[in-house]
Structures are given as C-alpha cells and as structure tokens.
Amino acid sequence: MERECYTISVYTENNIGLLNRISAIFLKRHINLDSMTASVSEIKDVFRFTIVVKITEEQVKKLVGQIEKQIEVIKAFYHKDDETIYQETALFKVASKLLFEERQIQNVIKESNSNIVTVTPEFFVLEKTGRRKEVEELYDKLEPYGLMQFVRSGRIAVTKEKMHISKIIESFGVETV
Amino acid sequence: METQTQTIEKETKETTGHMTGAEAVIHCLLSEGVDLIYGYPGGAIMPVYDELYKFQDRLQHILTRHEQGATHAAQGYARTSGKVGVAIATSGPGATNFVTGIADAQIDSTPMVCITGQVGSHLLGSDAFQETDIIGISTPITKWNHQVTKAEDIPSVLAKAFYIARSGRPGPVLIDITKDAQFGELDFKYEKCKGVRSYKPVPETDPETLEQAASLINSAKKPMIVFGQGVILGEAEEELKNFIEKTNIPSAWTILGLSALPTAHPLNVGMVGMHGNYGPNKLTNECDLLLAIGMRFDDRVTGNLETYAKQAKVIHFEIDPAEVNKNVKADVAVMGDVKSTLAEILPMVTSNNHEAWLQEFKDFDTIEYDKVIKEELYPSKEGLSMGEVLRGINEETKGDAVIVSDVGQHQMIACRYAEFVKSKSNVTSGGLGTMGFALPAAIGAKMGAPEREVVAIIGDGGYQMTIQELGTIFQTRVPVKIVVLNNDFLGMVRQWQQLFFDKRYASTEMVNPDFVTIAKGYHIAAKRVTKREELQSAIQEMIASKEPYFLEVCVEKENNVFPMIPTGASVSDIRLS
C-alpha cells in the first residue's frame, strides 16, 4: 500500500498527560510525525490535536483505533489532503537593511502574498500563511539574502465535510467526571 | 456481587467527614470493596501506610519483598478472584519496580490499580530524592494514569481509576499521589464512578453483524473457534459452552483462554499457537470459517500472517475496536461483550453436526499423541520429563487446582498438559512473557481463591528472578504449592539455540543453588525429587499439605517442547520434532 499524507484530528478532554500518551502511540510504532498542533476546538472545554503523518491507509486506521482507545480521547478522525482545508504559518526574520541594499527582495515580498508583521531599524518580520509548498517557495527565494531566523508552524486543518463530533458531545449529556 | 454492592453503599453512607488525603485513600479502597492490597512502604507513601496501620482490621496489607512482587501478586489475585488487584509503593525506585508488572497487566488485560507515592508537589521537577516521572514512564503501559497533587481530588480520581481498570477491556491504572496531597485535608465523600464521558467501555453491537455472523456459521462446512481470555474476563464461559454445544464447532484456545472450557469437553480441541496442539494449528489453514472469540491474534498464535487462515472467512467477537483488523482482517466483526453477543447469537444459529470435520481433529490428535504426547507423559527414557510431573499433579488435584506458570518450557508444558474443570484456573504471563511472574502471582492467586489449591509451576531460571517472595510466603503462611522443574538451563532459550543457533548454548546453562535449603531457610517444607519412583508420592505429600510446600523436580536437561511453529513459519508448518 502506498504512503500518503494524512491529517489526523483528535478531539480530547483537557488532560495534562494526553500529549505524551498520544505521541507514545507513534513512538511505539516507530512512526515519525510531520507535525503536531494542539489547540482549543469549536467545542467548549474540548481540545483538538492536528497531527500530520505520511503512512499507508492501513497504518492510519490502526493508529486512529489506538488513539481513540485512550480514555480521554473523545474521537479521532483521519483525512486525506483533498478532504481538508489546511494551512501552515511561517515567520521570516530578515535584516531591514536588505530592503534598501537588495531591491529585488521587495518584489519577492510583493509577489509572495505575505504580510509584514513588524519593522524595526534592525529587522523586519514577514508572516506567510499557506500550503507547505508556498512557504517553501518563499523560503527558497529569501534564503539567498540571508535569514536571521525562520520558523514554521505545524499544519492546522478543517475538513470539507461535517465533523460529527458535536453529536457525540451532545450525547454525553451531563458530565459524570 | 450483590453483597459487594451493599457493602459499598453502606461504606459510602458511613464514611464522610473531614480527613487527610492519606485516610481518604483508605476509605476509597474500602468503598470499592477492597480488603487486601500488596505493597512495600517508603518515604513518599508513609502517610498512607500510617493510615493502613490504623485500618489493619479492615484492610489487609501484604508486604512483598520487592515491588515487582506486589504487582504480580495483585495480578494473580485479580485473575482468580475476578476483582481488581491493588498494589501500592513509594516514589522513585518503588514506582519503577512496578513497571514490569504494569506492562504485564496491560498486555494481558488484567484489572489492577497501582498507587504510588510521589514527592511533594513543590518539589516536582526538582530531581528531589526518590523523584521519578512515573506518569511519563507508565503512560505507554497503562490503560490510564493520573497524578494527584490535591487531597480533595483523591476520591474522584480513585473512583475513576477503579471504574477504568475493571470496565470494558480491563487493564492497569496507575495513580501517583504527591506527599502533600496525602497530608492535605478534605471533606470526604465517595461516589462510585459510573462513567467517563470520553470513554465507552463496551461498544454497541450492530444487530446486522450478528445476522451476518449467524448466516456464515450456519452455512459453514468446516468452522473452527479460537477463544481467548475475553471469555474469562467477560465471565462468558456458560455462553461459550452453550454456543459450541449447539453448533458443534471444534473449539481451540489461546494460552490465556485456557480453562474457560473444561479440558475434557468433547469439543475442546486444544491450544493454538507456537507450542499448541497439532490439529488446531494445522486445521486453522483448512477451516472455511474461523470464529475468534475474545482473542487478539497475537503473533505467537498466528505465526506468519501472510499464510494464516487465508482460505477462511473470519468472524471476530471483540470488545476492543482497536483489535479488529489489527492483525487479521475480519469479514464480520461482532463488537461487544462476548457474554451478551454469544447469548444473542445463540437462537440465531442452527444445530449442526460436524462429525467428519471433528474427526480430522481427532486424527491429528492421534498423530500428536503417538509422536509427542505419549513420550512426554510416559517417558521411556530414564530422565524425568516435565510432562509426567504435570500428569502427576493432574492425578492428585483432579483438574481442580489453579495452575500458575512462569515463562519458558515448563510454561508450555503446563499449559499443554494441565487439566482443568473450572474457569479462572490458569494464571500465566502470556503477552509479556515475564520470567519471575509465577511465584508472586501464586501468592495473589491463592489469596484471590483461598478455597482452591494453587500450584505454581516454575523453571529454575524464572524462580530465581523473584525468589525473594519466599519471604512473603513465609511471613503470611499462604499455603501455595511451588514446583520448580529444574533442568539447570534456561530451557526455552537453550531449545532455540539447539534448533536455530547450532547448539551454541550462550549463557543458558545455570549453576544453581540448593533450592531445598533455600526454601528451608524460609521455614517452608521442601523436597527434591530426582527419580521417577519418588515423584508421585512427593506430589501427593505436597498436595496433602495444608502449609506452603516446595518441590524441586530435577528433570531431563535437554528435552525440547514440541510441537513447535518456528518463528515466521505458517501455523500449518508446525513441527512434531
């Protein structure tokens, strides 16, 4: 079976050890995570992990089974790229003097659909949100001029189809613990 | 069950009020119906031990000689009593010594609550004396774990711990309690946990899958059952029996399913897996329908998955959704507790007569008896065999004993040849293969079923891994019977070295101490048998004893366990020699 990129969305209770518990499932199977992002979700007090892995569909099914088995995991889903809307964010810290010394850099910025977050006499910070490829393209263009710092976030994604999590939450009724 | 519930209600009504976290731990245990725990004291758990002292008339604490022993004893207790085993230890090394027992309980689905003390919460992360991150360490090997840093959280967390440990597919739970939470005060009120919203212990059964399964069962010409520990954990022995007797399907068992169906039952066709019986292994690859009931297709059961039961349709009766299609693809997955799914499917299946098919199992049995079993049970050679010791124990106990086995050749022989009439009679370390399991597990097994005879069958290697628990036996006088089958080798590894490593016996020969003297040092009656004519009377004496008893049987050094499926081979490539 072919390896593909899968986005796993995990809805969980807010629990201190859960990140460890979920990452241990990948560790045990020697599967490397492309990225992992934790945040609040659309539901009050419910958290959401967004995990990206390149594996086979058979593997991802088993992983989701193991993840859902964890006590504080409410529900886990997996999706292929064409089933989700997904983005990553990157920050580029660049020396301000380059704006004047290397005029070409201004064109790169203009064409890149990125935002200047802050400018100081020493540096400016460029924020680029998009698909991995777009971020990488900008990286390739800016890198020759010299980057003071670069960082990229993990993927965040929403699905095109409805996520049937709200119904599960409704069925909980009164919280027991 | 009812009396336990009543006790709990009484306890809940009785115990409220202002108290310390340490005292609350005791009241939580009492409220859960716990009257026996295993443990080892130390700095970070001392406040709880101080309360144990005060409550010793209601809550018995068994001091093991090592924390690992406490976990295995709690496992043995859980396996024979069907209740949750409880083990308690201090922080740091106390907690890390729990790790093997917890991992064993996790892979063998044993309900257990482990309580560990922890350094004060203000010291967490400071590398304080005996501080260790037991939550981090135990995460991958627990069903659930949680650290308590406030006294007021103790009742709800322990209630949740017991609920999670025993519900659905059972497993171990670890609760780590900081010392300040033990000293802290709270207004105690205990409410049993009735559910955790993100956790569904038993999945719903889709009625359609029952119909699909029934239709496959009713049309199958060569159906075969492999049942596992799910039957025992779900207390579905009667339902299994009714189901197989109506359908007349030959039924084999995994090592942990052993004793769910009496050995002598005419439809019991033996063990599957690496050292299982010839017929069920061979015929796994000839059946047209494989019914997996409360088992998880461990690799020691399936051999090479590429050639495992490929010709058969597979029905998987399973409580844990993550087990379905994990190793073997199921054509129909019947989710739920086997106690209810087997009862529900019973009226949907037709009575059947699989006489010719059953005869195939019998024919393989005859071959196996002639080539393997006969020599193992009635050896023609001078040296004693492990099998004849088991035969002798069967004769004395009439299959009524609990057999606790360790890991290795003797374990395979015990599981192959021990005869059982009752469920919850086979206690062994299946999934993890923990040498050193049997001696402490036997202590717990006996305390979990005090009316039953408990015989531990141990090899000379595994025995020395937890031999210090003889101290626990001496102190408690728990009347377990210990049989060490001594071949002066780590026998199973030696067997593999002989078969697959050209007899290069790397570090498998044991120079052993005088086991009888050691037992006597603990004031345990002890005997050594080296000759066949002494064997039966020694077993008789051991079984007749009302006290703990140690019997060493010096067996043939280089016997091998057969049949055997070599690693990576197909189940149908099982070898008889």
Write down the catalytic residue from B4, B14, B56, B129.
B129
Of B136, B147, B198, the CB nearest to A73: B198
Q: What is the distance between the alpha carbons of residues B280 and A101, in angstroms, rounded to a whole number?
A: 80
Minimal Cα distance from A63: which residue of B?
A: B322
Q: Which residue of B has its CA nearest to A13?
A: B198
Given an 8 Å threshold on Cβ–Cβ distance, is A72 in contact with B195? no
DSSP per-residue string spanning B405-437: E-SSHHHHHHHHH---SSSS-EEE--SS--TT-
| One-letter-per-residue 3-state SS of B34-45 | CCEEEECCCHHH
The pLDDT tens digits of the residues spanning B101-155 come to 999 999 999 999 999 999 999 999 999 999 999 999 999 999 999 999 999 999 9
Q: What pLDDT digit, counting tens, does each position of B284-327 carry?
A: 999 999 999 999 999 999 999 999 999 999 999 999 999 999 99
**Residue A176 above 60 pLDDT?**
no
Which chain B residues are Cβ-neighbours of A66 within 8 angstroms?
A: 322
Contact call for residues B332 and B316 (beta carbons, < 8 A)? yes
Q: In this predicted model, what pLDDT tens digit does every residue of B444-490 receive, in sequence order?
A: 999 999 999 999 999 999 999 999 999 999 999 999 999 999 999 99
Residue B4, pLDDT > 60, answer no
Classify B121 as helix, strand or coil. Answer: helix
Tell me what pLDDT residue A163 has: 83
Task: State both tokens at A152.
Answer: 């990229």
Rounded to whole angstroms, what are the CA distances from B52 to B25, B59, B67, B190? 9, 7, 17, 18
When pLDDT is cut at 50, 70 and 90, the band that residue B13 belongs to is low
Please give the DSSP secondary-structure letter assigned to residue A155.
Answer: P
Residue B315 pairs with which residues in a beta bridge?
B291, B332
> Do residues B32 and B166 make contact, with C-beta atoms less than 8 angstroms apart?
no
Compare all CA atoms of chain A with the CA of B157 and give the residue at the minimum distance: A177
| Beta-carbon separation of A17 and B321 below 8 A | no
Cβ pair B143:A66 closer than 8 A: no
- The chain A residue lying nearest B194, using CA atoms, is A176
Over residues B563-575, the mean pLDDT reads 96
Q: Residue A174 above 50 pLDDT?
A: no
Separation CA B405–CA B482 (nearest Å): 10
CA–CA dist B502, B529 (Å, integer): 31
- Identify which of A20, A24, A172 has the shortest CB distance to residue B197: A172
Q: What is the pLDDT of residues B189-210, one digit of tens each?
A: 999 999 999 999 999 999 999 9
| A34 contacts A64 by C-beta, under 8 angstroms | no
CA dihedral B366, B371, B374, B377 (to 10 degrees): -120
Is the pLDDT confidence value at B171 over 90?
yes
Q: How far apart are the first and last CA of chain A?
A: 42
Q: What pTM, to 2 d.p., does this model score?
A: 0.95
| List of chain A residues whose C-beta atoms are within 8 Å of the C-beta of residue B143 | 71
Candidates A17, A25, A71; nearest CB to B196: A71
Quick one: which of B55, B98, B88, B64 has its CA closest to B158? B88
The active-site residue, picked from B179, B222, B241, B481, is B179
Active site residue B474: no
Strand B85-89 with B112-118, pairing: parallel
Is the pLDDT score of B159 beyond 70? Answer: yes
* Helices B386-397 and B532-544, packing angle to 10 deg: 40
- Percentage of chain B modeled with pLDDT above 90: 97
pLDDT at A167: 76
pLDDT score for A173: 57
Which residues in A lie closer than 8 A to residue B198 (C-beta atoms)? 12-13, 71-74
B492 catalytically annotated: yes
Reply yes or no on whether the pLDDT at B575 is more than 70: yes
| Residues on A contacting B at a C-beta cutoff of 8 Å | 12-13, 16-17, 20-21, 24-25, 27-28, 61-62, 65-66, 68-69, 71-74, 172, 175-177
Using a CB-CB cut-off of 8 Å, the residues of chain A touching B320 are 69
Asked if the Cβ–Cβ distance from A68 to B321 is below 8 Å, we say: yes
Q: Which amino acid is at A3?
A: R
- Please list, residue by residue across B120-139, b when 16 or more beta carbons sit within 10 angstroms of its beta carbon and e when fewer do: bbebeeeebebbbebbebbb
pLDDT above 90 covers a percentage of chain A that reads 82
Residue A175 pLDDT class (50, 70, 90 cuts): very low
Query: Active-site residue B274, yes or no?
Result: no
Question: Given an 8 Å threshold on Cβ–Cβ distance, is B147 in contact with A71?
Answer: no
Catalytic residue from among B46, B60, B130, B348:
B130
DSSP one-letter string for B39-66: E---GGGHHHHHHHHHTTTTSEEEE-SS
Backbone angles phi, psi at B86, to 5 degrees: -125, 130
pLDDT score for B217: 98
Q: At what angle do helices A57-69 and A18-28 cross, to 10 degrees?
A: 140
**What is the rounded distance in angstroms from the CA atom of residue B547 to the CA atom of residue B549?**
6
Q: Do B139 and A61 touch (CB under 8 A)?
A: no
Gap between the Cα atoms of B202 and B497, Å rounded: 44
Q: Which helix (H) or strand (E) holds B224?
A: strand B223-227
Give A18-32 pLDDT, tens digit per residue. 999 999 999 999 999
User: Kind and range of the H or E element at B2?
Assistant: helix B2-14
Q: Check B196 against A27: CB less than 8 A apart.
A: no
List, in order, residues 6 or more apart from B474 with CB less than 8 Å away. Answer: B522, B523, B524, B548
Query: Does the annotation count B179 as an active-site position?
Result: yes
Tokens coding B191? 């409410």
Cβ A176–B193 below 8 Å, yes or no?
Answer: yes
Residue B302, pLDDT score = 98
Residue B8 confidence (pLDDT) above 80: no
* CB spacing of B197 vs A73 below 8 angstroms: no
C-alpha B60/C-alpha B484 separation (Å) is 29
- How does DSSP assign B268-305, residue by residue? EEEE-STTS-HHHHHHHTT-SEEEEES----HHHHB-G
pLDDT in tens, B332-342: 999 999 999 99
Residue A15 reports pLDDT greater than 90: no
Residue B281 CB neighbour total at 10 angstroms? 28
Q: Catalytic residue, from B412, B447, B492, B542: name it.
A: B492
CA distance A21 to chain B (A): 6
Cα of B196 to nearest chain A Cα, Å:
6
Indicate whether B225 pLDDT > 80: yes
Mutate one of A71, A73, A168, A175 to test the B interface: name it (highest B CB count within 10 A). A71
Compute the mean pLDDT over every residue in chain B, rounded to the nearest whole number: 96
Six token digits for residue B43: 């700095």
* pLDDT score of B256: 98
**Does a cis peptide bond (omega within 30 degrees of 0) precede residue B563?**
yes
**Residue A28, min C-alpha distance to chain B (Å):** 8
Q: Which residues contact A162 (CB under 8 A, 6 or more apart)?
A: none
pLDDT of amino acid B1: 41
Q: How far B334 CA sits from the closest chain A CA (Å)?
A: 16
Q: Do A17 and B145 touch (CB under 8 A)?
A: yes
The residues of B whose Cβ lies within 8 A of any Cβ of A are: 135-136, 139-140, 143-147, 156, 160, 164, 193-199, 320-322, 324-326
**How is residue B73 written in tokens?**
């004893």
Contact in structure between B420 and B426 (CB atoms under 8 Å): yes
Best of B109, B198, B305, B318 to substitute, by most chain A Cβ atoms within 10 angstroms, is B198
Confidence at A171, pLDDT banded by 50, 70, 90: confident
CA–CA gap between residue B364 and residue A171 (Å, rounded): 53
| A86-129 pLDDT per residue, tens | 999 999 999 999 988 988 999 999 999 999 999 999 999 999 99
Tens of pLDDT along B367-412?
A: 999 999 999 999 999 999 999 999 999 999 999 999 999 999 999 9
A104: which residues sit within 8 A by CB, 6+ positions away?
none
Element (H, E) at A54: strand A47-55
Confidence of residue B235 (pLDDT cuts 50, 70, 90): very high
Query: Do the Cβ atoms of A172 and B325 come within 8 Å?
Result: no
Q: B198–A12: do the CB atoms touch at under 8 Å?
A: yes
CB contact under 8 A, B156 and A177: yes
Residue B14 has pLDDT above 80, yes or no: no
Provide the pLDDT for residue A177: 39
Considering only CB atoms, A24 lies closest to which of B140, B321, B326, namely: B140
Residue contact A21–B139, C-beta within 8 A: yes
What is the rounded distance in angstroms from the CA atom of residue B570 to the CA atom of residue B358? Answer: 22
Among this protein's residues, is B326 annotated catalytic? no
- Burial environment of residue A5 by CB neighbours within 10 A (0 to 12, 13 to 18, 19 or more): middle
* pLDDT > 50? residue B528: yes
CB neighbour list of residue B427: distance below 8 Å, 6 or more residues apart = B75, B76, B79, B80, B402, B403, B404, B405, B438, B441, B442, B445
Contact A62 B322 (CB under 8 A): yes
Chain A residues whose beta carbon lies within 8 Å of the beta carbon of residue B156: 177
Residue A156, min C-alpha distance to chain B (Å): 23
The arithmetic mean of pLDDT across residues B496-509, rounded, is 97
Closest to B164 (Cβ–Cβ): which among A24, A28, A71? A71
